[in-house]
Chains A and B, each alone.
Chain A
Amino acid sequence: MRITVDETRCEGYGFCAEAAPHLLELDDEGELTVLSEEVLPDEAANAEAAVRVCPVAALRLQQ
């Protein structure tokens, strides 16, 4: 499973980073950084939670 961010849609809300802190992080400027595009099975549920809290559907999960 892979997680990617559509930077043209991301508005830097940051709700996602708290849901999946091992995968996503806000940098000092508040911009979203994907720490790991590869989502290991034990992180899958958190990745899905991160996708759910994004109000602009900027995160994608692909099998």
Chain B
Amino acid sequence: MTEDIRDVVIVGGSIAAVTAADALRQHGHEGSITIVSDEPYTPYVRPPLSKGMLKGTETEESVFMAPPRPDIDFRVKTRAVGLDLERRRVLLDGGEELPYDGLVVASGARARRLGPPEAGELVVRDLDDALRLRAAFAGAGSLVVVGGGFLGMEIASTARGLGLDVTVVDRDPPLVRQFGGFLAEHMTRAAVDEGVRLVRSPGAVELVGGNPVTAVRTADGLLLEADVVVSAVGDLPNVEWLAGSGLGGPEGLLVDDRCRVAPGVVAAGDVVTRVSERTGRPRRSPHWGSAIDQARAAAQALLKGDEAPVYRPAPYYWTEQWGLDIKICGRILPGAIPEVLSGSLDERTALVRWTHDGVPVAAATVNHRMPVVKLRRLATAS
């Protein structure tokens, strides 16, 4: 033990926060754990919010996790507004100060927006966002999605499945950044086959109207009108509440190789940024699996300091769209060469591996069940 950690405060109420709490208990922490979440809900699962929950095949009740254990004080609708590192206190919006010996920052990220807050722009990040969008879909005939990334294409797929006319607008070809050109091309073709219209804007788009947004204007002046417009243009780490402490910045909250931030402070989840071993630059990895792995590493680092295991990122993420269930281990680096190991993408079931300079860097399954351990072996085996 590096120091005596009795009272732990966790800021954030999603998977990283509850996993950190569970891991603290699992590794012997017997002191208090207080979780403060600014959401009105107990923890829920985010991945279905753009898929089954949005479509209506899963109820909103089904997204809630089993409630946190009774020896954890979980406070909803409680916003952390400041951090006093010196006195080890989290400042809450009602003026209360929560003293801590150990702090886990799991304040997550929020949807990036194109317009001002009062524009009533629809996004998908929280349960309330997804409920608003689901309500907007009812009776709507058309949708424009701004952003052809992961989330934007999942929303587009869900909406198309509900029978809406769907247009996706982006500056770049959809999905290439996350899935590489090879897989992105097949996914995009699947979208077009389903009747989705893809529009490229040579620059930033502009939202037209407000409350609700009624159209999108592309950089070359094309006006895309729709009953519903939704933005899926990335996320921003929630670091503003840390401003007075000198911690955090636009890139997120920088952690070391054990998810530590400062004495008595660790972090996990979408708020975290790490220096990439490959590029030497800070990088966030806002995925479910990263949140869990980081939360476990952070909890151990808080309790054991340098004795805690080093966190080794093992990227893993998935998507479901256009009837394609895709799971990926590793990073599809630009220039990586894909090889179909079995099946065929044209037949919509395949196992794909990417190599870079002759070394495997990533592997993916498409409508092909394979335990993650095996997929990871493929992604890293030499």
Real complex partners, A and B? yes
* Chain A residues with CB under 8 A of B65: 51-52
Verify B371–A30 contact, CB threshold 8 A. Answer: yes
Judged by DSSP, the binding face of A is mixed
Verify B374–A29 contact, CB threshold 8 A. Answer: yes
Residue count of chain B within 8 Å CB distance of chain A: 26
CA distance A61 to B107 in the complex (A): 29
Find residues 324-343 in chain B having any chain A CB closer than 8 Å to their own CB: 327
> Does B292 sit within 8 A of A, measured CB to CB?
yes
Closest A residue to B295 using CB positions:
A53
Verify A49–B22 contact, CB threshold 8 A. Answer: yes
CA distance A46 to B15 in the complex (A): 15
* Chain B residues with CB under 8 A of A51: 65-66
The size class of the interface chain A forms with chain B is 20 to 34
Q: From B25, B26, B45, give the contact of A55 (CB < 8 A).
A: B45
* Chain B residues with CB under 8 A of A46: 22, 26
Judged by DSSP, the binding face of B is helix
| Closest Cβ–Cβ distance, residue A50 to chain B (whole Å) | 9
Find residues 261-302 in chain B having any chain A CB closer than 8 Å to their own CB: 288-289, 292, 296
> Does A38 sit within 8 A of B, measured CB to CB?
no
* Chain A residues with CB under 8 A of B22: 19, 45-46, 49, 52-53
- Mark interface residues in B344-382 (1 if CB within 8 Å of A CB, else 0): 000000000000000000000000011111100000000
How many pairs of residues, A versus B, come closer than 8 Å at their CB atoms?
Answer: 66
Verify B372–A12 contact, CB threshold 8 A. Answer: yes
Verify B296–A18 contact, CB threshold 8 A. Answer: yes
Q: From B18, B327, B374, give the contact of A30 (CB < 8 A).
A: B374
Verify B372–A57 contact, CB threshold 8 A. Answer: no
Verify B374–A45 contact, CB threshold 8 A. Answer: no
* Chain A residues with CB under 8 A of B57: none
* Chain A residues with CB under 8 A of B18: 52
| Closest Cβ–Cβ distance, residue B54 to chain A (whole Å) | 16
CA distance A13 to B365 in the complex (A): 13
Closest A residue to B65 using CB positions:
A52
- Mark interface residues in A37-61 (1 if CB within 8 Å of B CB, else 0): 0000000011011011101010001
Q: From B15, B45, B69, B288, give the contact of A45 (CB < 8 A).
A: B69
Verify B47–A55 contact, CB threshold 8 A. Answer: yes
Q: What are the 10 closest A-B residue pairs judged by CB atoms, nearest first?
A: A12-B371, A30-B373, A30-B371, A49-B22, A52-B65, A30-B374, A51-B66, A45-B69, A15-B292, A52-B66
* CB-defined A-B contacts under 8 Å, sample of 12: A12-B370, A12-B372, A12-B373, A14-B371, A14-B372, A29-B374, A45-B25, A45-B69, A49-B25, A52-B15, A52-B66, A57-B45
Binding site for A on B (CB under 8 A): 15, 18-19, 22-23, 25-26, 43, 45, 47, 62, 65-66, 69, 288-289, 292, 296, 316, 327, 369-374
